[in-house]
Amino acid sequence: MVSAIELAGVEKSYGRTVAVRGLDLAVAPGEFFSLLGPSGCGKTTVLRLVAGFEEPSAGEVRLDGRGVNGIPAERRDVNMVFQSYALFPHMSVFDNVAFGLRRRGAGKAEVRTRVGEMLEMVDLAGRGRRRPGALSGGQQQRVALARALVNRPRALLLDEPLGALDLRLRQAMQAELKRLQRDVGVTFVYVTHDQGEALTMSDRIAVMNEGRVEQVGSPREVYERPATRFAAGFIGTSNVLAGEVVEASGGTVIGHGEGGRIEVPGAPVGTRLEVTVRPEKVRLGADEPAERLCRVRGTVTDVVYQGASTSYGVRTSGGADVSVFVQNAMSADGIAGRGDEVWLSWEPRHSYVIGASDAGARDAAIGGAR
């Protein structure tokens, strides 16, 4: 299958500042693909390269298998939606949506039909005569989407389009955006720094950092099996425990502090590794765990009641600070207090190696995890 959007060895520099470094990405037709990362990581630059607002310093951008370097934005058959919406305040909703069609010379009947269809699709039927200023933020965002989609582009590029909305409306619009994308079948490339937003809406996510892609995968893959320390820390809360392989016969075991044993995929004795485990996978209790479980000792340093759950901070005997999330349905009164000595345990399958003292050992460890 030919990719809807492909970047091959793409780099972008502004003088001495490198915004994108050797980027290789492929987005499938009809996919909801998100670029996730902190401010300044290069994700918006990637959108601008695809849209044609910027030209790469090296590498090639392809749309439907065809190289588009040097082709201006208006000839690329992609549209872009910005956080500011960029609606024309003096025009009606209908005229805002019809703007692109009229520029392309569409007839009155076609404009009326297609604008009507789009307004109905974004749940704004009957509001065509209103001005953007008379609409809510969520409605204005829908007008911007309708205007971008009415020309039936091959791909829609969205640069943090929900950033100006309050939390409740933002959450409602996430579901609306995903529904709209399924209905129209257009490839969406979505830029966000909000991990929850990316996990909720995306078919796949590219986690970016300093102009590079740290990991690409489904929401479940990047959350459950982070490839790097950055990916583990940026998406959700993740505990990172370091230790040295102390046992390699019948399964590899990392030692971590007094009594700590963490099973991982095969690696030589003496290799120093970093392992990540999510807070909701960890159990906390006073009794020593079953032999089959990974376990570390620690002292509770913080207890935060959060309604549906309680968050525990634990300093392990190996010197790591660990977070544990416990659903309050299991114990409404809490299971430990600040200063208590506790055991932390989890299933071995929930440990994932993210680092090693040298590249060879890390590759071996990760290869064993696949």
Least confident of 61-75, 195-209, 229-243, 246-260: 246-260
**Whole-model pTM?**
0.84
**pLDDT tens readout for residues 269-285:** 888 888 999 999 999 99
Query: Does 365 or 228 have the greater pLDDT score?
Result: 228
Q: What is the pLDDT of residue 4?
A: 96
Q: Indicate whether 187 pLDDT > 90.
A: yes
CATH 3.40.430.10 holds for 5-230: no
Q: Indicate whether 32 pLDDT > 90.
A: yes
Q: Indicate whether 19 pLDDT > 90.
A: yes
Q: What is the pLDDT of residue 81?
A: 87
CATH number of 237-369: 2.40.50.100
Q: How many CA atoms lie within 13 A of 230 on its CB side?
A: 14
Least confident of 62-71, 259-268, 340-349: 259-268
Number of other residues whose CB lies within 10 A of the CB of residue 332 = 9
Structure tokens at 354: 């993210």
The rounded distance, in Å, linking the Cα atoms of 316 and 327 is 21
Average pLDDT of the chain, as a whole number: 88
Q: Indicate whether 339 pLDDT > 60.
A: yes
**pLDDT tens readout for residues 282-309:** 999 999 999 889 999 999 999 999 888 8
pLDDT band at 331 (very low <50, low <70, confident <90, very high): low
Q: Indicate whether 103 pLDDT > 90.
A: no
Q: What is the pLDDT of residue 70?
A: 95
Return the closest-CA partner of residue 97 out of 70, 72, 117: 117
Q: Are 239 and 231 in contact (CB under 8 A)?
A: no
The rounded distance, in Å, linking the Cα atoms of 78 and 67 is 14
Q: What is the pLDDT of residue 330?
A: 63
Q: Indicate whether 249 pLDDT > 70.
A: no
Place of tokens 């159990």: 283
Backbone dihedral angles phi then psi of residue 124, each to the nearest 5 degrees: -125, 20
Q: What is the pLDDT of residue 329?
A: 76
Backbone dihedral angles phi then psi of residue 317, each to the nearest 5 degrees: -65, -15
- Those residues with Cβ within 8 angstroms of residue 122's Cβ, 6 or more apart along the chain or in another chain: 142, 143, 145, 146, 176, 180
Q: Are 326 and 309 in contact (CB under 8 A)?
A: yes
Q: Indicate whether 253 pLDDT > 50.
A: yes
Percent of the chain with pLDDT over 90: 57
Domain ranges of the chain: 5-230, 237-369
**pLDDT tens readout for residues 104-161:** 888 999 999 999 998 988 888 889 999 999 988 888 888 988 898 888 899 999 998 8
Percent of the chain with pLDDT over 70: 93
pLDDT band at 328 (very low <50, low <70, confident <90, very high): confident
Place of tokens 């479940």: 220
The domains spanning 5-230 and 237-369 adopt the same CATH topology: no
The rounded distance, in Å, linking the Cα atoms of 74 and 266 is 53
